[in-house]
Structures are given as C-alpha cells and as structure tokens.
Amino acid sequence: MTGARISRAIGGAAGVVHRAIVALLLLAMPLAAAAQDVEQRAREIVAVMQGQAIYTDVFDEAFTSRVSQEQLSAIFDQAKGQYGPLVGLESVEPTSPTAANIAIRFERGIASGVFNLANRPPYRVAGILVNNLAPADDSAEKLLADIRALPGETSILITPLDGGEPLLSYNADRHLGIGSAFKLYILSTLARQVAAGKRSWSDVVPITTIAHPSGASRDWPEGAPVTLHTLATLMISVSDNTATDNLLSAVGRGAVEAEVAASGHSDPALLVPFMSTREMIALKINGDVEAYRAADAAGRLAVLKVTADSKIDMFEFMTTFTGPPKAIDIEWLVSGEDMVNLMRRIHELDDPTAREIMAVSTSVPDNLSGGWQYIGFKGGSEPGVLNLSWLLQDHAGEWHVVTLSWNNPDAAVDREAFTALAMRAIALARPD
C-alpha cells in the first residue's frame, strides 16, 4: 500500500465511522528480529493506545511519517465507541520472527488483525492491519474459564464490600502468596495507630534499615528524617521495600501481627512472624529454607534473624528473584476472602488518608477508570507469585473489591496476561 493510499484510508476513517476498524498496513522487508521482539511489540502497541508508551518508541519512522498518533488513535476510537474502553492485549500469535496475529480486547469486544516489524534494530512496528472487530460477550463464566486455564494455582474474588453475593468467587478461601500486597497490613496498622492517637501521619522517623534492592529510599542517607506519611506513600504507590521495612519497624512487628488477626485473616498464624522484605529476601538467598519450613513461629523468627543483616549479593538477588520460582510457600499467605476483610478494615476508617495513599497508583488505565469514583490498589509479585487487588467505589457510592492471585512453583507467571484478566474483572464488577 502506498503512502498516498494510506493517507486516504486514514482520512476516510477519521471522517466517516466504518463498521469495522479501517486497515492500516505498511509492507516491510524480510527481517531478522526474534519472536520475543514481536511479542514485546504487541504489548507496546496496546500500551501506546493506553497512553503508557511513546508512539515513536514503538512504531517505526516509516510508519509514523505517514500515520500520526492522532490518526491511529482515531481508528481505535471507533472500537471504543462501539465496545467500550480498551482493556488490554488479548493474545499475540507469532507467525514468523517478524510478524504476528494480534487480538486487542475492549470491554465488550475484540479487535484482531496482524502487524509486522521493521527490517533493522530496534525492530519497531512497521505496519499494522486491524480489520476484524467482533463482540466479546464477556461474562463471569468466561473469565473464570480463562483464570482456571492458567498453570499452577489461581484465585479470584469479585464482590461487593457490604457482604452481598459475589459476582465471581473461585478458590477465594485458598491461601496463596501475595507478594508486596502484604504491605496493606502495615498500612492498616499505621492507620489504626493514628486513629487511636498513638501516632500522627506527620511524625518523623529516621531511615535506619536499608532493604534490597528496590525503592528510591534505599539510596537515601542513613538517618534521613522522613514522615510516616511519606514512608506509607512510597510503600504503597511504588512498593518501596526500604520504606516498607522502616515503617514495619516504626509500627512494630507485633502490632502488624495483631492487625492481621483483627482484620479477620482466616489463619493469622500463617503470617507469624510477619516478615520484612529484607528478611524474606535474605532467607531465600542466604538462609536455611528447610529449617524455616520445619520450625514453629519462634523458630521461624530465629531463622530470620540469622540472615536478616547478611550481605545480599546483587547477582544472587537477580538469580533468585528474576529466575525460576523459589520456595514460594515462604511468602505472605492470604486468601481472597482475607483480602476483602482487610479492604473492609481500611474502608471503615474515618480518616481517608490510607485510602488516599492507595489511590496514588491505581494500575487501571484512564480509559477504564471512568466507571469508578474511587480506585485504590496494591499488588505484589516475585517469580511464580502474583497478586492484584483493588478497592473500588462506583458512582452510586457502593464499594467493591476485585482481588486475584496466581501462584506457580514451576514457572514464572505472565503479568501482562494476568493484568488483562484483571481488567476484565474490573469491567465486569462495574455496575451497568
């Protein structure tokens, strides 16, 4: 297709609403890119449409010189108008090292087609043809089927917070690792201490513990004065581990363990001792995992203390926490029902500060957030472990929880695929 023909096609699509998405295709020469490049570019195409990636970083100059981002977006806007907000990448099926079939899910429909890459590094998208748009007719049953098809163990709970009938409940009583979503227990503990007058959000504490390796605060000087509000915001919004461990130290391990029980966790002993991020990381890298498994609560705490201050080698960290799953039973184990109880505990606070902190980073694209007047989020992961949990308020003032977990001891989990399922869950949870 020539540049002039493409321009005419784009202009017509922008001016006239077609029954299907208008085709865009630039032919590319035979390429030498790898299949993983094609799969990554598929995710980035969707990220561009969600405003989460830069157009010229994903699409090749040969494409962007003929098709502006506004023109491309105008075509996908037709799908949004007919089938609701863009949810995420539904599937990508490489057909060669340089091309693939792609399916993009909208709230009530799926747009599908093909795309290919340029003939030179960094192998940006040189052409895309999206020419089939069909209703998805999504339902709780279809979402559940896709959740159950994932390898390993999964759970999902979509429910009103007031105790009404869940829209979808699967393995909601199963205790699974939730990664950094455990930090909500620390947030709830701090908020309760503030409510009781024991602390103030503006209290200042020094940085005394440096976790490894994540978070901006790990590079702050030891003793740096920080408010509890700042630590809590870093802990939840960017999952800063140093902020988390310092906040855990400030509120007290015992207080968090008491909050786990008070929140209604179905087996609070599973979170005793309540591990810091550094303790868990050090245990899996330098510690005696088998001794930890075999010990009672006091013994587990003793095992943690042996390695808590040990040197964490960056290579060992990368090997352990970016490689295959390792000892994912040594985690913060929480069920979907436990998470709902914790969300209820946070919701019941008169002080809105904890909820405001949860709303800093919602992990919901803007085009899906319009159906909610409040979105609070925390998720967590390590190899083989993923949790995504939301506290939501609809425009009628009703509160809801969407929480999903996926644990697989045999292989890493696919965050992008699971997030797309979660976006479907949020779309289903929203009242009509």
**Tens place of pLDDT per residue across the chain (432 aa):** 333 332 223 233 333 333 333 334 333 333 345 567 899 999 999 999 999 999 999 999 999 999 999 988 887 887 887 788 899 999 999 998 889 999 999 988 888 889 999 988 899 999 998 877 777 878 999 999 999 999 999 999 999 998 899 999 999 999 999 999 999 999 999 999 999 999 999 999 999 877 766 677 878 888 999 999 999 999 999 999 999 999 999 999 999 999 999 999 999 999 999 999 999 999 999 999 999 999 999 999 999 999 988 888 777 887 788 889 999 999 999 999 999 999 999 999 999 999 999 999 999 877 678 789 999 999 999 999 999 999 999 999 999 999 999 999 999 999 988 998 998 899 899 886
Peptide linkage before 122 cis (omega within 30 of 0): yes
184 and 120 within one domain: no
Distance CA 275, CA 244 (A): 11
Distance CA 91, CA 421 (A): 11
Note whether residue 287 is domain-resident.
no
Cβ contacts of 159 within 8 Å, gap of 6 or more: 165, 166, 167, 169, 340, 400, 401
pLDDT of residue 432: 66
Determine contact, residues 50/69, Cβ cutoff 8 Å: no
Give me the residues paired with residue 109 across strands: 135
What is the chain's percent helix, strand, coil content, to nearest 5? 45, 20, 35
Q: Which two tokens stand for residue 53?
A: 């990636």
182 and 234 within one domain: yes
Note whether residue 293 is domain-resident.
no
123 and 167 within one domain: no
Determine contact, residues 296/316, Cβ cutoff 8 Å: no
pLDDT of residue 397: 96
Note whether residue 354 is domain-resident.
yes
Note whether residue 309 is domain-resident.
no
End-of-domain residue from the set 135, 150, 185:
135
**Token pair 């630039």: residue:** 26
Note whether residue 292 is domain-resident.
no
194 and 68 within one domain: no
166 and 66 within one domain: no
Region of residue 349 (left: phi > 0; alpha: psi -120 to 50; beta: else): beta
Q: Which two tokens stand for residue 195?
A: 């409510």
Determine contact, residues 112/106, Cβ cutoff 8 Å: no
* Residue 106: φ, ψ to 5°: -105, 175
90 and 147 within one domain: no
State the burial class of residue 338 (Cβ atoms within 10 Å of its Cβ: 0-12, 13-18, 19+): buried
> The CATH number of the domain where 186 resides is what?
3.40.710.10
| Amino acid letter for position 171 | N
185 and 48 within one domain: no
CB atoms within 10 A of CB 73: 15
Distance CA 106, CA 424 (A): 9
149 and 116 within one domain: no
419 and 360 within one domain: yes
End-of-domain residue from the set 99, 116, 135:
135
119 and 165 within one domain: no
pLDDT of residue 40: 92
- Residue range of the domain that includes 63: 3-135
Determine contact, residues 87/109, Cβ cutoff 8 Å: no
| Rounded-to-10 torsion of CA 423, 426, 430, 432 | 40
152 and 123 within one domain: no
The number of distinct structural domains making up the chain is: 2
167 and 106 within one domain: no
End-of-domain residue from the set 115, 135, 155:
135
